[in-house]
Structure 1
């Protein structure tokens, strides 16, 4: 399935949702070394992918949420997509006006597409191999990621708010092993700012 340039809400989890990136206390995320590396390399994505603009993001103990914008200025519209490691074009290249195909532009089944969200995320995840080479050999990502197309301004604002409030909501997050320990300060903050 091809997707045009646009905004995507992305969630990337650590393998087995292990808490590698730090911990949250009183609604504030304290980053570990792998968490700092995850934060730093996320911010570097536009330096390596000219078709990407980043919006809100947050590094959590066992996952990262972010808004990724794929811009039309640097994009081959026929090839941008979410391929999750597979080509949606079934190995067929577009026909030219003379009904021949260009073998050089042929997309093979299973070959990730350049400038796709999948490739952007795969490159990001690969940049965190720094952790494995620098004393954090236990660190690993979940093999896939979650994405959602942001279709309008209302959804964009709702998702931005969700990302910004995610550390405060951690106490009730089902992935948090201490989910029954709700901090009074977080509850008061959420009540005052809803």
Structure 2
């Protein structure tokens, strides 16, 4: 064990990811496999969008139910792509401002971004009966309204720009 390299955290050191604010999150599928669906559309009357696969439908359903587990978080925007998801998640209630009454057993006490991502991955893996996600995820603390608006547009436009996306893999090819 001593000879193994130490995995570096992507999180901002000393930052409390339970702090009220908005966060941009990207989570990739395991080996960047296109397991969540495919981008369709692109015509004048048919805007590009992701047609979800069965695994993609599981991810969407789980994202939409996450506020049942994390009432202090709000998913403000998300897009499912063939091999990743982007989300804007807002922490709307700081754990320090929470009631002294213990939460019901169905509610998570830790209303933080890492806890949210961990639960999302665990529950979708369980529902799909397979390992869907790569280890780790990308996060960005949204700093101001301009940053928020830029990320919102990026999420909106992601299916139309799929072929330019850094996670894009042409049909029939595997990611290096």
* TM-score, L = length of structure 1: 0.67
Instruction: Tell me the residue number matched to 1:32.
Output: 53
After superposition, the C-alpha distances for 1:3-57 in whole angstroms (9 at most, x for unaligned) are 3211000001111101110001232211001001101111111111111011110
> Where do 5+ consecutive residues of structure 2 fail to align?
1-13, 43-47, 98-108, 172-176
Higher relative contact order (CA 8 A, sep 6+): 2
Name structure 1 gaps, 5 residues minimum: 78-112, 180-194
How far apart, in 2, do the equivalents of 1:2 and 1:49 lie? 20
Distance 2:26 2:135 in 1: 12
C-alpha distance in structure 2 between counterparts of 1:49 and 1:16, whole Å: 28
2:81 pairs, out of 60, 82, 88, with 60
Give the equivalent residue in structure 1 for 2:9: none
The structure in which a higher percent of residues are helix is 1
Structure 1 residues 18-97: aligned runs within 5 Å: 18-25=33-40, 26=42, 27-72=48-93, 75-76=95-96
- Report the aligned-residue RMSD: 1.7
TM-score, normalization by structure 2: 0.73
The answer to whether the 8 A contact 2:23-2:88 is kept is yes
Runs of 4+ more than 6 Å apart = none
Structure number with greater Rg is 1
